[in-house]
Structure 1
Amino acid sequence: MGPLWQEQHQGRLAAWPRRRAVGAGAKHRFVFVDRLLAALVNLRHGTTHDVLACWFGVDRSTITRAIGEVRPLLAQRGCTVARGMRLRTLAEVIEHLGVSEQTGIIDGTEVRVRRPAAGRKDRDKFVSGKTKQNAVKSMVLTDGEGRVLFCSPVRPGNCADITQARQLGLAKLLAEGPFMEILADAGNQEMGAQTGGRVLTPPHRTFKKDAPAWYEEMHERQRKAHSSRRIRVEHGIAHLKNWRALARHLGRREHMSDIVQAVAGLLSHQQTAIHHGSRPA
């Protein structure tokens, strides 16, 4: 990431007319490695910028600017599925699962955020219908073992899971790609018909009331069998929420997409290293 940051930094310096040549003047006291460490500590433990500034002996504004530069670079790395192989888009994830004949699991997760200021337009769109709290929502896709493969950019909390999946083009990618199975919850039942049975959801109830005992037993058995296969995505989401930045976000909502995707990339790197039997970097 060092060369990417250096290239980005040089591009900013050369983006406007200058009296001095690029590279002249005072040099950075806060080197890139320290900037990266500050961003990682902020994501993992939610340490405030004031505390990080004391640790590194710089001004708070320097920490804020450094994290703002490093965080998008972390988000652009994508999710690691093997050494030297990263997936950055949903299309790449679907192709990888189809070629490797693996089953994917999708689910939505919410991160609580600050309430928008009074009088702001569309203030209520961040209120989640599920938790009745101000939140943003991201779609998480894992493999059958619960390893995170993709986290989507966030949407306001009132966005339904199936709406977010449609906006990401999941139905089209599944219909045009190799045959594979995606496990989903009951909120995505319409996706099954749209994708030719590629999206598997819990079974519908044939009897709304006064169901026979044999039907109740069969339906409960099928529902539990589906849930036991889907539980892996809940484990993946739980590992994401272990990062303090995703437990509850008190900063600007505009940064949440980069934060979610940066954490997903870092977590997937750790999971891949553990899966291959080596110590995570």
Structure 2
Amino acid sequence: MRLRTLQDVFAYAQTEGVELRLDATEIQVRRPLAGRGGRRAFASGKKEQNTMKATVVADHRGRTLWTDAMRPGRMHDATAVRTEGIDACFRHFPDVEVLLDDGYLGLRRDHPGKAITPPRTPNKSALPEFHERWKHHRHTHSSDRITVEHALADHKRWKQLVRWTHRRENLPATYRAIAGLVSDRTAHT
């Protein structure tokens, strides 16, 4: 089964009752030439390198279901989700839940119960049982999300995605091809 569009992924998740996992990964790219427009767009604040980010949606078994959105490394993850149409899919597929990390707190606010992020840290003056409950919930959330991290790690095992040395315009097609190969391999294991 091939899920080509983001709407296909959300429709599949709603029909089959699958809880999705979404995350982004950064791939180091060459720095744009001096004097070219948009040079600062690739400078990532997190890695302090020139990067491009890929958004990946995986299922509970770690299979890559969708990856199509490549963007400059400077763009925040939540902003990318809104521009890629994932935000709109939450409205059209109300029964789909997506596990996210802390980078998507705005989505949790906009789509309560659908965009699920880790619980917020309790106040320092909170009772010890609140801190213990927070640790337990955070660990549970992290354990549920680990499959998307494994999917991203499978992609990064390919040498080309550790550091992209070719033209940036060719990276999205290569990333999709590698993600497809990895997804096919994990579907049969």
CA contact (8 A) 1:98 1:179 kept: yes
Instruction: Choose the corresponding residue for 2:60, options 144, 147, 158.
Output: 144
Deviations 1:46-82 (A, max 9, x none): xxxxxxxxxxxxxxxxxxxxxxxxxxxxxxxxxxxxx
Cα distance between partner residues in 2 of 1:128 and 1:161: 12
Match for residue 162 of structure 2?
Answer: 247
CA contact (8 A) 1:99 1:178 kept: no
Deviations 1:188-230 (A, max 9, x none): 11212322421100112341x3333222212111111111111
- What displacement does 1:152 show? 2.3
Which secondary structure state, in structure 2, belongs to the residue aligned with residue 174 of structure 1? Answer: helix
Match for residue 216 of structure 1?
Answer: 131
Cα distance between partner residues in 1 of 2:95 and 2:78: 20
Normalising by structure 2, we get a TM-score of 0.95
Instruction: Choose the corresponding residue for 2:43, options 119, 127, 148.
Output: 127
Alignment pair present for 1:93 and 2:9: yes
Match for residue 56 of structure 1?
Answer: none
Deviations 1:222-251 (A, max 9, x none): 111111111111100010111111111000
Deviations 1:157-208 (A, max 9, x none): 011110111011112112111402100001111212322421100112341x
- How do 1:218-237 and structure 2 match up within 5 A? 218-237=133-152
Match for residue 30 of structure 1?
Answer: none
Match for residue 71 of structure 1?
Answer: none
For 2:35, give the aligned amino acid: G
Which secondary structure state, in structure 1, belongs to the residue aligned with residue 24 of structure 2? Answer: strand
- How do 1:16-165 and structure 2 match up within 5 A? 85-165=1-81
CA contact (8 A) 1:175 1:196 kept: no
Total equivalences in the alignment = 189
Match for residue 102 of structure 2?
Answer: 186
- What displacement does 1:115 show? 0.9
CA contact (8 A) 2:98 2:114 kept: yes
Deviations 1:78-116 (A, max 9, x none): xxxxxxx21111111111111110110000101000111
Cα distance between partner residues in 1 of 2:105 and 2:178: 29
Match for residue 175 of structure 2?
Answer: 260
Gaps of 5+ in 2: none
RMSD: 1.3
CA contact (8 A) 1:153 1:261 kept: no
Larger radius of gyration: 1
Q: What percent identity do the matched residue pairs reach?
A: 38
Normalising by structure 1, we get a TM-score of 0.65
For 1:272, give the aligned amino acid: A
Which secondary structure state, in structure 1, belongs to the residue aligned with residue 69 of structure 2? Answer: coil
